Amino acid sequence: MAELAFKELEAVALRQDLPEFGLVAGDVGTVVFVHLDGQGYEVEFTDADGRTLAVQTLLPDQLAAVRGRQILHVRPLTTATS
């Protein structure tokens, strides 16, 4: 079995906007499930209080690793979530 691009509970960054879900490239989420040996990933995106904003099934090329010398960025939500 090939090594997975991402593992469960790993932080990942979105590579593209998903406006229908209020997500933009660079938003950070957590891998909560790995599909079919890494062919897809279930990723949870939360707000700063830990409330789930979206859970999306994404392909490996839609995600980037969050590692090393990177700085995370905070942005205000542009849509109502309550």
Q: Is residue 24 part of a domain?
A: yes
- Predicted confidence (pLDDT) per residue in 26-82, tens digit: 999 999 999 999 999 999 999 999 999 999 999 999 999 998 899 998 999 876 454
pLDDT at 58: 98
Q: What is the CATH number of the domain that holds 53?
A: 2.30.30
pLDDT at 42: 98
Alpha-carbon dihedral sign for residues 17, 48, 74, 32: negative
What residue type is assigned to position 66 of the chain?
V
pLDDT higher than 50, residue 7: yes
pLDDT higher than 80, residue 20: yes
Q: Is residue 21 part of a domain?
A: yes
Q: Is residue 39 part of a domain?
A: yes
Number of domains comprising the chain: 1
In this prediction, residues 2-24 reach a mean pLDDT of 93
Q: Per the structure block, which two tokens stand in for 29?
A: 């989420």
Q: Is residue 50 part of a domain?
A: yes
